[in-house]
Structures are given as C-alpha cells and as structure tokens.
C-alpha cells in the first residue's frame, strides 16, 4: 500500500517543463513533416496536372490510399514492417516519414487546384510575352495560384500538426504521450489535458493569425 502511494505524486512545476519539452518535440515533428510534405505535394500536384491520364492511373491511386487509410493505421504498419525491408527507424523518424507522405498526399490536390485556378488565357498571355514554361510557372502560376489555395494549405498544416499526436502510439514522447504519462502518475486528467490543449493552442494560434494577416495584405 505504501508503494502505491509513493508511486503517485501531485502535479509540480517540473511537469509543466516536461509538457513544454514534449510540445517542442511536437513542433519539430510537425515542421519537418509539413515542410518536406508540402514540397513533395507541390511536385505531385504538378504531376497530376501535367500527367493527366498517366498520373491518374499511377500516382493518383497511391495518394488516395494515403488520404483514405486512417493515419494511425499507417503509422503502426510502417513502424512494424519497415524493419523487414531493412529500415530500422526509431519512432520519431517513422512518424516523420508517414506524416510527410500523408501531408504530401493532402497538399497534392491543393497544389493541383492552385495550378488550375490560373486560367488558360492568362497563361497564354504570359507565353505570348516571351516567357518560357518555367518562367510562366514561377512568375504567374505560383503567385496567383498560391494565393488562391493558401487558406486550404493552412488548414492542411494545422490538421497535420494536430494529427502528429498519433505518433504517440509508436512510443514517441510528444505532447499527447507526455500527457498520458503525467495523467497516470498524478491522476489529474482535467488539469493535464487542459495544459496540453493550451500548448496545442499556443502552437497553432500564431500560424492561423499570421495566415490571416497575409490574406488581408494580399486582398489590399
């Protein structure tokens, strides 16, 4: 009985630091996954737009799988089957790999929508001015299409940041896993989950506010 009592302890300031460190791990996981996934997603979106039939038969079904299968299943399957093919990745990198592919699959449709948002007359006008295909993509399609789909990309980024909590099923101590550990020790779920929610809000709110300011600036 004494051992049971000594195992549980009250919430202390050190636990706040523990949650803060876990929040930084969540942020780092999200930044890597979103940045690399966005770059890949833009490439995939361009391929879907330019490849048409070929991309629809090859790339599109693969992206649909990653968009459709629940993320937690993807994480568990990859983490358990990767060693079979010689990929001995720890929980952090396993989570980053799957979150990156998942982000790329979501961003691909967003990027394709951005490219298709630029009308053909405008693109023909750019080419008639002597622009090459890549100059047209850089100076016309990217600025106009990027602004059109920017809110959708922000939604994807915020969603992936929240979905990064699922990496906890692999044993990686990010914010959700740290909360579970503290709840088990302190038996104060309301306090711990409230603090975890506050940390998630602190990570997400600056992104949404900065995105809103950019949209207002572009609208002027």
**pLDDT score recorded for residue 18:** 87
CATH tag, 12-219: 1.10.3720.10
CB-CB neighbours of 121 under 10 Å: 8
CB-CB neighbours of 52 under 10 Å: 10
More confident residue, 103 or 140: 103
pTM of the model: 0.86
pLDDT at 30 > cutoff 90: yes
DSSP state of 177: H
pLDDT in tens, 93-123: 999 999 999 999 999 999 998 888 887 788 7
Helices (H), 52-174: 53-57, 59-68, 71-81, 91-116, 120-128, 133-136, 142-163
pLDDT at 35 > cutoff 90: yes
Asked if residue 108 lies in contact with residue 41, where contact means CB atoms within 8 angstroms, the answer is yes
Q: Where are the domains of the chain?
A: 12-219
**pLDDT score recorded for residue 7:** 53
């Amino acid at each position: 009985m004494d051992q049971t009592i000594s195992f549980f302890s009250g919430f202390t300031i050190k636990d706040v630091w523990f949650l803060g460190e876990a929040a930084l791990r969540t942020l780092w996981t999200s930044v890597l996954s979103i940045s690399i996934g966005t770059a890949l997603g833009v490439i995939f979106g361009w391929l879907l737009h330019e490849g048409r039939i070929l991309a629809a038969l090859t790339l599109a079904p693969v992206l649909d799988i990653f968009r459709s299968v629940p993320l937690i299943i993807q994480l568990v399957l990859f983490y358990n089957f990767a060693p079979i093919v010689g990929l001995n990745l720890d929980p952090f990198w396993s989570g980053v790999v799957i979150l990156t592919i998942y982000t790329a699959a979501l961003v691909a449709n967003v990027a394709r929508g951005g490219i298709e948002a630029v009308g053909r007359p405008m693109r023909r006008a750019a080419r008639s001015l002597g622009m090459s295909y890549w100059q047209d993509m850089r100076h016309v399609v990217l600025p106009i299409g990027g602004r059109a789909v920017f809110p959708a990309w922000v939604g994807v980024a915020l969603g992936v940041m929240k979905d990064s909590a699922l990496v906890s099923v692999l044993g990686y101590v990010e914010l959700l896993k740290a909360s579970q550990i503290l709840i088990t020790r302190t038996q104060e779920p309301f306090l711990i989950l409230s603090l975890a929610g506050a940390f998630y809000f602190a990570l997400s709110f600056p992104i949404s506010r900065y995105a809103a300011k950019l949209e207002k600036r572009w609208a002027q």
